[in-house]
Amino acid sequence: MDYQKVKGTHDFIGEDAEYLSYIRETFFKVTSLFNYKEHVIPTLEYSEVFSRGVGQGSDIVRKEMYSFLDKSYRSLTLRPEFTAGIVRSVVENKLYATEVLPIKSSYLGQSFRYERPQAGRYREFYQGGVECIGVSGIDYDVEVIQLCLELLKRFHLDDKVALSINYLGGIDTRERYTASLTQYFKGHIEEMCDDCKERIEVNPLRILDCKEERDQKVASNAPEITSFLSEKEKADYEAIKERLTLLNIEFHEDTHLVRGLDYYSGLVFEFNVPLEDNALCGGGHYDNLVSELGGPELEGVGFSFGIERLIQFMKDNGIKPESKKSKSFYIMPLDKEVSNYALRIARLLRENDYRAEIDYDGGKIASMFKRAERLNLDYGIIIGLDEANAKTVQLKDLKTQEQISVSYDKLLEEISK
């Protein structure tokens, strides 16, 4: 039988794995500059964490969760996103009582959604993001946008994305807005796709960002949330826009931006790649998620990047992972008699943080050089009987082909030059 990967999953091999580790390293470096700490949560949660957290009306909970009963008939779910899990962890560990507020958590790992696989859309994918919990006002809303931009800057992509923002109100605003939307869409039900017909009752907001042309046409005349916001919400939204302008951050207001997750109740934002349907990064402010999951009334704000989409975007723009790898060596023992000496040299190099690979295969020196070339290593260390007896090596720069004899004692000094 030929085994294949599960549909919608993928392997990170070679350069892709390098992208992933470069992004991971850069991500945690930049988030720590904003004083976020890595927060590692389980992949599995009780299903209610997401059905309550992300919301029964969301597409994720209705159609996309990998949920199953374990052997004790408990319903478990592979996380479809991180926010609800991080909040569950903050509440369960009562971090709000022991930590300085806001709690700043960063994360990077896999999420799982049963979506139709296509370019930039997988069933198992990586997300990197932050949650800032215990905030009030708009300061951290703007700070997380700055953090996203700083990250994009590190990848030389900050001037290649477009920031869209919108403001969804709290429960009261949402209720009034949803009622008005439902009424409007009911009047146009015949013009809408089957999915959106169903959404009218369960989540009419989601119709606003349906990608189907006919639904977009109907949505273009739908009532807009901005006219339903309370005075306080309007003032907050204005303050966010003012602050962004002050910081010279360009943005575009999109009254149809609702994001797919029910918990957002203030600012929502997305960074998009022009002409791409899928968002590169999305986030927003939530007022009630912490209390929904059993905690105190604390507000939060966060965002999440899709790592596969980021990798693709970097590739499209010719941006390579910046490798911080140390110099590398291929040790070539020309005789069985010198193998102990070769092992000693490999140990010396590795103990001093150099990458070293030994050619255990032996054979002709020409085939050893071929292997070194295919492994893309920097230097060859050639050891014959003469070298072993004299406690020296032949050090060959595999790029310039320059070769010198170096004593064992001087090897580290020579290669650190």
**Per-residue interface string for the shown chain with ligand AMP, residues 24-53, x marking contact by CB under 6 A:** ------------------------------
Residue whose CB is less far from ligand AMP, 122 or 379: 122
Residue whose CB is less far from ligand AMP, 44 or 412: 44
Rounded CA Rg of the chain: 28
CB of 305 to ligand AMP, least distance (A): 6
Residue whose CB is less far from ligand AMP, 81 or 387: 81
Q: Which residue is nearest to ligand AMP (CB)?
A: 306
Residue whose CB is less far from ligand AMP, 270 or 359: 270
Q: In this structure, are residues 147 and 244 in contact, taking their beta carbons and an 8 Å threshold? A: no
CB of 20 to ligand AMP, least distance (A): 13
Contact call for residue 115 and ligand AMP (CB under 6 A): yes
Sole binder of ligand AMP in the list 10, 24, 62, 121 (CB under 6 A): 121
Residue whose CB is less far from ligand AMP, 282 or 333: 282
Contact call for residue 127 and ligand AMP (CB under 6 A): yes
Q: In this structure, are residues 149 and 249 in contact, taking their beta carbons and an 8 Å threshold? A: yes
Question: By CB under 6 A, which span of 65-73, 226-234, 298-306, 333-341 interacts with ligand AMP?
Answer: 298-306
CA-based diameter of the chain, in Å?
92
Give the total of residues touching ligand AMP (CB under 6 A).
19
Residue whose CB is less far from ligand AMP, 196 or 281: 281
Return the structure tokens found at 333. 């023992």
Contact call for residue 143 and ligand AMP (CB under 6 A): no
- CA-wise closest residue to 408 among 417, 205, 389: 389
* Burial class, 71, CB count within 10 angstroms (exposed 0-12 / middle 13-18 / buried 19+): exposed
Q: In this structure, are residues 129 and 306 in contact, taking their beta carbons and an 8 Å threshold? A: no
Sole binder of ligand AMP in the list 134, 266, 282, 295 (CB under 6 A): 282
Residue whose CB is less far from ligand AMP, 9 or 394: 9
Return the structure tokens found at 235. 């003032």
> For strand 379-383 and strand 328-333, is the pairing parallel, antiparallel, or unpaired?
parallel
Give the per-residue SS3 of 287-353.
Answer: CCHHHHCCCCCCEEEEEEEEHHHHHHHHHHCCCCCCCCCCCEEEEEECCHHHHHHHHHHHHHHHHCC
* ∠ CA 232-55-134, rounded to 5°: 50
* ∠ CA 57-63-67, rounded to 5°: 105
Can you tell me the distance from the alpha carbon of 60 to that of 67, in angstroms, rounded to the nearest whole number?
Answer: 11
CA quadruple 306, 308, 314, 320: dihedral positive or negative? positive
Residue whose CB is less far from ligand AMP, 312 or 392: 312
* Burial class, 339, CB count within 10 angstroms (exposed 0-12 / middle 13-18 / buried 19+): middle
Question: By CB under 6 A, which span of 95-103, 236-244, 278-286, 406-414 interacts with ligand AMP?
Answer: 278-286
Contact call for residue 163 and ligand AMP (CB under 6 A): no
Buried b (16+ CB within 10 A) or exposed e, 382-393: bbbeebbeeebb
Residue whose CB is less far from ligand AMP, 174 or 259: 259
**Per-residue interface string for the shown chain with ligand AMP, residues 74-113, x marking contact by CB under 6 A:** -------x-------------------------------x
* Residue list 204-263, contact with ligand AMP (CB under 6 A): 259-260
CB of 117 to ligand AMP, least distance (A): 8
Question: By CB under 6 A, which span of 18-26, 152-160, 303-311, 319-327 interacts with ligand AMP?
Answer: 303-311
Residue whose CB is less far from ligand AMP, 283 or 333: 283
Contact call for residue 10 and ligand AMP (CB under 6 A): no
Q: In this structure, are residues 302 and 283 in contact, taking their beta carbons and an 8 Å threshold? A: yes
Can you tell me the distance from the alpha carbon of 57 to that of 60, in angstroms, rounded to the nearest whole number?
Answer: 8
Contacts with ligand AMP, residue ranges (CB under 6 A): 81, 113, 115, 120-122, 125, 127, 259-260, 279-282, 304-306, 308-309
